[in-house]
Amino acid sequence: MTPAAPILLTPGPLTTSLRTRQAMLVDWGSWDDRFNQLTASLCEQLLAIINGSHTHHCVPLQGSGTFAVEAAMGTLVPRDGHVLVLINGAYGKRLAKICEVIGRRFSTFETAEDQPTTAADVERLLKADRSISHVALIHCETSTGILNPLSDIAAVIARHGKRLIIDAMSSFGALPIDAHTIAFDALIAASGKCLEGVPGMGFVFARKESLASAAGNAHSLAMDLQDQHAYMAKTGQWRFTPPTHVVAALHEALLQYNEEGGLPARHKRYANNCQTLLDGMARLGLRSFLPAAIQAPIIVTFHAPKDPRYDFKTFYERVKAKGFILYPGKLTQVETFRVGCIGHVSSIDMHAAVTAIAQALGEMEVLDI
Ligand SMILES: *Cc1c(COP(=O)(O)O)cnc(C)c1O
């Protein structure tokens, strides 16, 4: 990699393999049988990752991840529904914003950015307000890298007979989620995160019965997943122009995912990346924001150095010149920056990134870490 093509240590878009990028060198017709087979094969493989082919449909949707989140909320929450949104970061806040914009009744429960939502919280909230029909949760809150206890929370929601919508955008493919043991109406993810495809489409695993009874719920034509699914089931085609190159790249990325060893191997590589990063940064004296027990191996938030000579923009540019793209912090109270562990990168790259960070801080004469 030359400095002109730096390694992206960000939560998406992220570094992809040459093979994945090369899969985009073909132009596909959306009516073409081979393209439709590619879509069908993609959906089948995605369902297999969550063990969900008996219980859920995979509905792909054009756009970035947020488009799929908005589509899932608008399609699966009926117009008279009431969503409890669990928040401990920016993506949780976005869920609440979506409810507001599309006109779904919602309540929020917010914990600090270093505090996972607990099953006990959800138990108490569901008991206190019987009108809640759905709970929306971020699995890995990418704004810090915190992991929320999905299976415990899902069990409480199921016991209360409520519906769960999971934004698993930054965890799907790397952290195990089994549709046989975790009950959910919708789980949302996208092409350009842990599957290491390119950005451009999301997909929603929607519980079959819930999707079947969702006709007429949607606030929008283009965001209607029930219609998207019904059209695809009937014709094999996407309802509107498909992101053909993105589909082809994701299909190729999934071949590599399976060759690597599927989810356990992906998880192991990211966990190694994360540990290499944490160890290396600790040697430099840089502290991570989250305790290890709640840190997902997806992205790590670090406290910025206290030295007045530190400034993120300069730091970013200097690290970029050495071949790595970092990510700004997203916290309001403390100054931080983030380093992603996901993408077509290994612990060798993470070692090199730590070296680049050390050199950049040295050049800036940042001493007070
Ligand atoms: C990346 C991400 C999204 C989607 O963001 P887009 O910018 O729309 O792709 C949603 N939720 C989480 C938790 C994410 O990490």
> Ligand 1 atom 4: the closest Cα is on which residue?
65
Per-residue model confidence (pLDDT) at position 278: 98
- 12 Cβ closer than 6 Å to some ligand 1 atom: yes
Pocket test for ligand 1, best of 10, 95, 113, 169 (most atoms within 8 A of CB): 169
> Measured between alpha carbons, how far is 59 from 137 in angstroms, rounded to an integer?
19
Ligand 1 near 138 CB (within 6 A): yes
What's residue 4's pLDDT?
A: 62
Q: Characterise 63 by phi-psi region: left (phi > 0), alpha (psi -120 to 50), beta (else).
A: left
Per-residue pLDDT band at 253 (split at 50, 70, 90): very high
Length of the chain: 369
Helix ranges, 177-304 (H): 208-212, 225-235, 244-260, 262-284
Instruction: Give the percent of the chain with pLDDT over 90.
Output: 96
Average pLDDT over residues 135-149: 98
**23: pLDDT confidence band, cut at 50, 70 and 90?**
very high
Distance 369 CA to ligand 1 centre (A): 31
CA–centroid distance, residue 84 to ligand 1 (Å) = 19
The domain ranges of the chain are: 7-13+262-363, 18-258
Q: Is the CB of 276 under 6 A from ligand 1?
A: no
- Ligand 1 nearest atom to the CA of residue 170, by list position: 15
Q: Is the pLDDT of residue 1 over 70?
A: no
Q: How does DSSP assign 33-89, residue by residue?
A: HHHHHHHHHHHHHHHHHTT-TTTEEEEEEES-HHHHHHHHHHHHS-TT-EEEEEESS
Q: In this model, does residue 293 exceed pLDDT 80? A: yes
- Mean pLDDT of the residues in the chain: 97
Instruction: Classify domain 18-258 at the CATH topology level.
Output: Aspartate Aminotransferase; domain 2 (3.40.640)
Q: How far is CA 330 from CA 91, 98, 124, 303, in A?
A: 10, 19, 29, 11
DSSP-derived secondary structure letter, 294: G
**Atom number, ligand 1, closest to the C-alpha of residue 192:** 9
pLDDT, tens digit, for every residue of 176-230? 999 999 999 999 999 999 999 999 999 999 999 999 999 999 999 999 999 999 9
DSSP 93: H
Pocket flag, ligand 1, residue 168 (CB < 6 Å): no
User: H helices then E strands: how many in the chain?
Assistant: 12, 14
CA distance 302 to 128: 37
pLDDT tier at 3 (50, 70, 90 boundaries)? very low
Is the beta carbon of 145 within 6 A of some atom in ligand 1? no
Q: Is 309 annotated as a binding residue?
A: no
**Mean of the pLDDT values across residues 106-116?**
98
Ligand 1 in contact with 52 (CB < 6 A)?
A: no
- Is the CB of 70 within 6 Å of ligand 1? no
Sign, Cα dihedral of 344, 347, 351, 352: negative
Fold match between 7-13+262-363 and 18-258? Answer: no
Residue 338 β-bridge partners: 301, 327
**CB distance 237 to 90 below 8 Å:** no
Ligand 1 neighbour 64 (Cβ under 6 A): yes
Q: What's the pTM value of the predicted model, to 2 decimals?
A: 0.97
Q: Over range 262-277, report the average pLDDT.
A: 98
Q: In this predicted model, what pLDDT tens digit does every residue of 333-355 receive, in sequence order?
A: 899 999 999 999 999 999 999 99
Q: For domain 7-13+262-363, which CATH number applies: 1.20.210.10, 3.40.50.12280, 3.30.565.10, 3.90.1150.10? A: 3.90.1150.10
